[in-house]
Amino acid sequence: MRQDVRIVIIGGGPAGLAAAAAAAEQGVPVGDILIIERDDKLGGILNQCIHNGFGLHTFREELTGPEYAQRYIDLVEKDEIPYLLNTIVVDISKSKEAAPCGGHAGAAKNASRGYKTVTAMNSTDGMIQIRAEAVILAMGCRERPRGALNIPGYRPAGIYTAGTAQRFVNIEGRMPGREVVILGSGDIGLIMARRMTLEGAKVKVVAELMPYSGGLKRNIVQCLDDFGIPLKLSHTVVDIRGRDRVEGVTIAEVGPDRKPIPGTEEYYSCDTLLLSCGLIPENELSDGLGVGMNPVTNGPKVNESLETDVPGVFACGNVLHVHDLVDYVSEEATAAGACAARYVLEEETGAAGKQETGAADKPVTITATDGVRYTVPVSIHVDRMQETQRIRFRVGAVYRDAAIEVDFDGRPFRTWKKRIMAPGEMEQVILTKKDLAAAKGLRNITIRVVQGG
């Protein structure tokens, strides 16, 4: 089976839905947009996130995960944007042949661009090949499993990632266990500490390897402090007891080198160990396509348009970098959808040409240093950017009474004072096109943390 569209969106979660709605709003015919989702329904991971706290930025009201997802599902269905469910994408490839999109007005003009071929499969249609001018990567992320954590001990039943336990409880109505220890203080783990407690389980402790929590402050307060669940920072699991089923775990304090300190071991009897030890963007497809990757985020490197170094391939949401709020995912995905729409429509309006001919402005690179771990985007074409450019990033430690400093080619440009910054919460700065254009010959923007503010 072969199909031609203009934009393929891989992933039907909050990022993919927001991107599709934005592309349609920009004027791409809905019949030329296709969402591919591997699950049996749209909405992604939000379908199992039944707690509230979503939508405060986007909709100015507090929603549960399914309610938030439904807002975007309603947009997609109202616009009648096509989507495929229970469909797995197995490959994305690029071709220099003319983009063949169904005789649309810009097909001939876009001949120089080529197209991307998305190979997918499902039980109804078998193998499917979809050719498109643009692809939006919105595959989300997965949890880091036990195998990546090097925890000694046997492999008994009762060890789950926090997301798997969340699905068991919220979707399938099954309790993983009754006495729980949680390793890692990511947001999913914190939320599951509360959820398991509300379902009658006893959460004995949350152990975190780092000297700070990986979750939002509000989740620490609402999910641990409010229920009297202890959080032990700079601690990790050093042993798991039990052969058939978890019987207990031993945790120990770790030093600055993150190695256990002898004599600090504590034993907790339990029948369940939940792992909340980080998220990994789902970028196997991106790697196969040859997209340049950021070793810090494990996501693609993108420019101001959220476009990767493969022309016509855009990325947004947790596949790009792990977000703390879904509202930011939707905001970013809306921008990606709009940029992908402009990419496929620009030749028809006569607005393009620079990128293809090489006459475009040289990009301004963005360097993260001195406490800033990474930035999204990593480069900006000033001529192509909107009137404002949002740059998001995370810091590498907890900073109090510090500041974010932005330099233009080594010259201080602006400083933002910050009372507190932590790795669990994203930071951002907003630059204007006017400021960047005024810095004649600008080639590098540096973003750093300055102690003392």
Q: And the tokens for 74?
A: 């309603």
Q: What is the mean pLDDT of each run of 10 residues along the chain (453 residues)?
A: 90 98 96 97 96 93 96 96 97 73 46 80 94 97 80 87 96 96 95 97 97 92 97 95 95 95 97 94 95 96 97 97 95 97 78 43 92 97 94 95 96 95 94 94 96 74
Residues 375-407: b if buried by 16+ CB within 10 A, e if exposed: bbbbbbbbebbeeebbbbbbbeeebeebbbbbb
Residues 354-367: b if buried by 16+ CB within 10 A, e if exposed: ebeeeeeeebbebe
The pair phi, psi for residue 25, each rounded to 5°, is -65, -30
Enumerate helices (H) and strands (E) in the chain, giving the number of each. 9, 29
- Residue 103: per-residue pLDDT: 46
Sheet holding 266-269, edge to edge: 235-241, 248-253, 266-269
Distance separating alpha carbons of residues 258 and 249, to the nearest angstrom: 18
For residue 156, how many other CB atoms are within 10 A of its CB?
Answer: 16
Residue 266, Cα to own-chain centre: how many angstroms? 35
Alpha-helical (H) ranges within 80-212 are: 162-170, 187-198
Residues paired with 273 in a beta bridge: 159, 181
Distance separating alpha carbons of residues 310 and 303, to the nearest angstrom: 11
- Residue 452: per-residue pLDDT: 77
Q: At what angle do helices 65-79 and 14-25 cross, to 10 degrees?
A: 30
- Residue 323: per-residue pLDDT: 95
- Residue 151: per-residue pLDDT: 80
User: Which DSSP category does 221 fall into?
Assistant: I
- Residue 354: per-residue pLDDT: 43
- For residue 94, give the 3-state DSSP assignment: strand
Q: Of 227, 155, 156, which Cα lies nearest the Cα of 198?
A: 227
Q: And the tokens for 379?
A: 């480069």
CB 312 within 8 A of CB 346: no
Distance separating alpha carbons of residues 26 and 406, to the nearest angstrom: 32
Residues in the chain: 453
Distance separating alpha carbons of residues 222 and 219, to the nearest angstrom: 5
Spatial CB neighbours of 408, under 8 Å, sequence gap ≥ 6: 439, 442, 444, 445
